[in-house]
Structure 1
Amino acid sequence: MKRQGGFSLLVVMALGIVMSCVLLTFFKVVPVYSEYYAIKKTVDELAATSGKSDDELRRAFANRMPIQDIVSVKPADLLILATPGATGVGVRYRREVPLAGNVGLVFSFEHQAGAPVLTANN
């Protein structure tokens, strides 16, 4: 008689738990990075426009927020350097994502485009 081999029920359950944890983390992290790339694209587009004031750039960002589904950054969070020769737009923010109970992830993002506006102090 041949001895049967394979996974036991305990191993299958353990694999299921591990895979569900990995999938939960994946589905919580993907929207955070999706929003970061939307913010990055918007900041790049704002920095490419020249001759606009701080208020005009903030208003343009506020108009794009619902379209790009941006919720982590408000127009007041933008650091803007608008001079006649160059425009610089930067943003630095943190996003907290709860996983389960009191366990969560914290993401810190930073992006600038155009003239340098972000320093270590702001």
Structure 2
Amino acid sequence: MTEHRLNRRSRFHQRGLSFFGLVFVGVFAVAAFAIGGQSIPIFLENQAIRKAAAKAAREGSSVPDVRTIFDKAAQIDDIKSIKGADLEVTKRNDKIVVSYQYSREIALAGPAYLVYRFNEQTK
């Protein structure tokens, strides 16, 4: 090919993002930011529930004690997803084990939801 043709081809060959590509990336970034912003409090609450359940298992000596200790910690940490009555309290080798399960939803669009399901127990 001649030098003139090569220069002409490279002049029309563009690199980078198109407008629609930029819009797509922008929409994706906004959606990820919105979902992440709603997910962070859910995971922070789960950490508080873990801590309260561990404290209740450590300090409680009976099922009502464990539930009361959990409810007091839930009031302090503003836990709304689960209550002491929702805890399953068992004994394993003279050690109290607290199990719980719950779910939280984030509305996405229309009938679509993002659901987080938590199913954990103390050790």
What are the ranges of 5 or more consecutive residues in structure 1 without an aligned counterpart?
A: 115-122
CA-based RMSD? 2.5
Fraction of identical pairs, as percent: 29
Aligned equivalent of 2:113, options 93, 104, 112: 104
Considering Cα pairs closer than 8 Å and 6+ residues apart, tell me whether 1 or 2 has the greater RCO.
1
Q: Does the 8 Å contact 1:54/1:82 carry over to 2? A: no
TM-score by length of structure 2 reads 0.76
Aligned equivalent of 2:20, options 10, 14, 34: 10
Higher helix share: 2
Q: How does 1:43-58 map to 2 (within 5 A)?
A: 43-50=53-60, 52-58=61-67
Q: Which runs of 4+ in 1 moved over 4 A?
A: 1-6
Supply the distance in 1 between the matched residues of 2:102 and 2:15 (Cα, whole angstroms).
52
Which structure has the bigger radius of gyration?
Answer: 2
What are the ranges of 5 or more consecutive residues in structure 2 without an aligned counterpart?
A: 1-7
TM-score by length of structure 1 reads 0.76
- After TM superposition, give the deviation of residue 5 of structure 1 in Å: 5.1
Code of the residue aligned with 1:109 in structure 2: it is F
